[in-house]
Amino acid sequence: MTILDDGEIIRRMRRGDVTGVEGLLHAHGPRVKASLRLRFGLGRGDHALEDAVHDAALIMYQRARRLDAKRNLGGYLMITAGRELARALEQCRTGSGDFEIVLENVPVDERRESTTDEFSLALRRLLDELPDREREILAIDHGSDFKISADRIAEELGTTRHTVYVLRHRTRQRIEEFCEEWGRVRATGGDA
């Protein structure tokens, strides 16, 4: 399948054409899944993750009339799928769902005494402790490969560009400090 641009995806979804949903998943799905896998510490092919991304795409399909072709659909898919995944994982924790959470096996850095699972769990705790607004900005940045301007994020979240800059800086600083403590590579990317 040819990768469609966001404008064509929206046009197709507005016409009721399901190839718009397929185009959305093809264009943005892999990056969104990878980001959410890291954020929630899930393994490849995790059913809750797959369901959340597909549910988010269907939600966007239902709201196609409200989507703006000038905005990054990948960031919107990331936020929507993240919310759906958080709900699904909460259902799993409370016993009202039947999802299995599996941590991804990433090769262990032999120089580290701690296992990758410990690092993943600690990173997940750090991300969970971030305030919602900082998590949303990080998700949009990561989902768009750090290509969305602070102005667009501010407009999307109903805040100021200055607030986005401050929260981006604060979040990156926390992640960099965390990674340095664990002996991992420093976090990079985006316009601070």
Q: Which CATH class is domain 106-192?
A: mainly alpha
Q: What is the DSSP letter of 65?
A: G
Question: What's the whole-model pTM score?
Answer: 0.52
- Radius of gyration of the CA atoms of the chain, in A: 17
d(CA 54, CA 49): 9
Share of the chain above pLDDT 90, in %: 9
Tens-place pLDDT, residues 21-53? 999 999 999 988 888 887 887 777 677 888 889
Share of the chain above pLDDT 70, in %: 79
Return the CATH fold of 1-104. Rna Polymerase Sigma Factor; Chain: A (1.10.1740)
Q: What pLDDT does residue 27 have?
A: 92
CA distances from 43 to 37, 40, 92, 121, 187 (A): 7, 9, 16, 13, 22
Task: Give the integer Cα–Cα distance in Å for 177 and 124.
Answer: 15
